[in-house]
Amino acid sequence: MCEMCPQHARRLFEPSRRSFIFAASAIGLLLANGAVAKERKSPPKPQNVLSPDAALKRLKDGNERYVEGVAKRHDFRHEREALTGGQNPYAAILSCADSRIAPEYAFDSGRGDLFVCRVAGNFANDDTVASMEYAVAVLNAPLILVLGHDRCGAVDATIKSLKDDKPLPGHMPSLVTAIAPAVKAVSQQTGDALDNAIRQNVVDNVAKLKGATPILSAAVDQNKLKVVGGIYRLKDGEVEMVA
């Protein structure tokens, strides 16, 4: 073999290697672009991408329809299909577990619209705070509503337990512990003790969620999240917003 042959062979090989590297880079770029496109795909319910104020208005509008008894027609079949791959609720709600309160009905909402956590007394413990963080940080919910209601049995039981100094049975003392600060805060106020405590309990839990670090408080500071309170009226279904 002549001396030039090995060099010639190397020259023949080098373009192939460059071509391979170029092809690999191109494939990697395509894959990266595909991943970005996947991340940026349209949410399952584009109409739920709202500002905090727009989300609150939508809640109020839905409640007005509910009070009037004129609900929208919801296409649940197509909503189920659209939501198989994800969710993007426009609001998260911390509601009492009372069977007479149904946030999805009260705000005339469809599937995938509301991210709802329910516990007797609608208070924010570690689990509900974590759930709300998930709704905001992962699902991009722009609004949280703490929803109390009149004649709340959990608040009434707390008032009686504290007044009589008599613990409730089973695990129910944990409810009293959570609601007691609101009851004590209004104990010297005039007016109906139960109504005062229900309202204060909503106010306290709005404040707790607004100040929950690091996720919720940061979202509030950046105007990406609004946290509000409301009281559901059993007689007519109207939700009265609490300042």
- Total structural domains within the chain: 2
CB 125 within 8 A of CB 178: yes
| pLDDT tens digits along 60-105 | 999 999 999 998 887 878 888 889 999 999 999 999 999 999 999 9
Domain that holds residue 186: 47-242
Distance separating alpha carbons of residues 58 and 50, to the nearest angstrom: 9
Pair (69, 105) in one structural domain: yes
Pair (90, 124) in one structural domain: yes
CATH of the domain at 129: 3.40.1050.10
Pair (79, 164) in one structural domain: yes
What pLDDT, on the 0 to 100 scale, is given for residue 40?
A: 56
Pair (75, 99) in one structural domain: yes
The residue assigned the tokens 């060099």 is 7
Pair (31, 149) in one structural domain: no
Pair (9, 85) in one structural domain: no
Please state which of the ranges 69-78, 115-124, 144-153, 221-230 shows the lowest mean pLDDT: 69-78
What pLDDT, on the 0 to 100 scale, is given for residue 49?
A: 97
CB 212 within 8 A of CB 133: yes
> Torsion over CA of 120, 122, 123 and 124, rounded to 10 degrees?
110
Q: Between the CA of residue 179 and those of 42, 173, 184, what are the distances in Å? A: 41, 10, 9
How remote is the C-alpha of 207 from its chain's centroid?
16
Q: Higher confidence at residue 68 or residue 30? A: 68
Q: What percentage of the chain has pLDDT greater than the value 90? A: 77
Pair (7, 119) in one structural domain: no
Pair (11, 113) in one structural domain: no
What pLDDT, on the 0 to 100 scale, is given for residue 38?
A: 44
Please state which of the ranges 19-23, 64-68, 154-158 shows the lowest mean pLDDT: 19-23
Pair (156, 179) in one structural domain: yes
Per-residue pLDDT at 27 exceeds 60 = no
Per-residue pLDDT at 9 exceeds 50 = no
What pLDDT, on the 0 to 100 scale, is given for residue 22?
A: 40
pLDDT band at 137 (very low <50, low <70, confident <90, very high): very high
What backbone phi and psi angles, to 5 degrees, belong to 147? -115, 105
Pair (52, 16) in one structural domain: no
